Amino acid sequence: MKLIITRHAETQGNVKRIDAVDWYSMPKDVESRSSLFKRAQQMILKAIKRYPDSTVLFVSHNALNKALIRVLRKWLPEDKTSISQENTAITIFEVSDNKSKELLFNCTKHLSKY
């Protein structure tokens, strides 16, 4: 199965700079990092079970996409290694037998045509 992950384009209005966010005083309704990671794991497992011989496209926001990539790379939720992902960038993994192979990461070549 191939998993394609792409980040949708986001608007820049009312967006805080990452260094301006107080990560220790998050609102109560913000999903925790571990919960996000678990949700990404469940999504991948469900896709593998439901579409084993297909190509699956995930289009989501930056945080969930990064969690999906971390799961597929077999990184731990606590790993703070930075992952960059440009708006509309495409990342492709091939998944089989509980293994994943990264075929393409953060590709934006499709944007250069316009």
Sketch the domain layout of the chain as residue ranges. 2-8+30-113
- Residue whose C-alpha is closest to residue 3's, from 114, 99, 111: 99
Report how far residue 40's alpha carbon sits from residue 71's, in angstroms, rounded to the nearest whole number. 7
The tens digit of pLDDT for each residue in 56-105 reads: 999 988 889 999 999 999 998 888 788 888 888 999 999 987 789 999 99
Report how far residue 110's alpha carbon sits from residue 108's, in angstroms, rounded to the nearest whole number. 5
Domain 2-8+30-113 maps to which CATH number in 3.40.50.1240, 1.10.287.70, 3.30.830.10, 1.10.540.10? Answer: 3.40.50.1240
Residue pointed to by tokens 């945080």:
63
Report how far residue 64's alpha carbon sits from residue 35's, in angstroms, rounded to the nearest whole number. 11
Strands 2-7 and 55-60: parallel
Q: pTM for the whole thing?
A: 0.78
The tens digit of pLDDT for each residue in 14-52 reads: 555 656 667 677 777 778 788 889 999 999 999 999 999
